[in-house]
Amino acid sequence: MGVAFVTGGCMVRTVVCPVCGGEVELMDDVMDGEIIEHDCGATLVVRIEGDNIKLEEFQGVEEDWGE
Ligand SMILES: [Zn+2]
């Protein structure tokens, strides 16, 4: 029995950063609502709608979090 490895490596999607307009690389298995940090210092939230992936700037206004 053969073991089939997935060829081509990991799928990476490139999405535009809504803050700086630069490219953000996301793994194909990124999850909706995932928080990522971009090189520009922005904190972004992943929004998945069907096959489309969008990024929104994360607004750190939830001051109830933490202390
Ligand atoms: Zn950015």
State the Cα–Cα distance between residues 57 and 46, nearest whole angstrom. Answer: 9
How far is the centre of ligand 1, averaged over its atoms, from the C-alpha of 23 (Å)? 7
Positive/negative CA dihedral, 38, 14, 22, 45:
negative
In degrees, rounded to 5, the angle at the alpha carbon of residue 48 between the alpha carbons of residues 42 and 49 is 135
User: Residue 5: is its pLDDT beyond 90?
Assistant: no
State the Cα–Cα distance between residues 30 and 11, nearest whole angstrom. Answer: 10
What pLDDT is attached to residue 12? 86
User: Residue 60: is its pLDDT beyond 80?
Assistant: no
**Model confidence band, residue 7 (pLDDT cutoffs 50, 70, 90):** low
State the Cα–Cα distance between residues 47 and 49, nearest whole angstrom. Answer: 6
How far is the centre of ligand 1, averaged over its atoms, from the C-alpha of 61 (Å)? 19
How far is the centre of ligand 1, averaged over its atoms, from the C-alpha of 26 (Å)? 13
Q: Of 5-9, 24-28, 39-43, which has the strongest mean pLDDT? A: 39-43
How far is the centre of ligand 1, averaged over its atoms, from the C-alpha of 33 (Å)? 17
Residues 6+ apart with CB under 8 A from 8: none
In this prediction the pTM is: 0.70
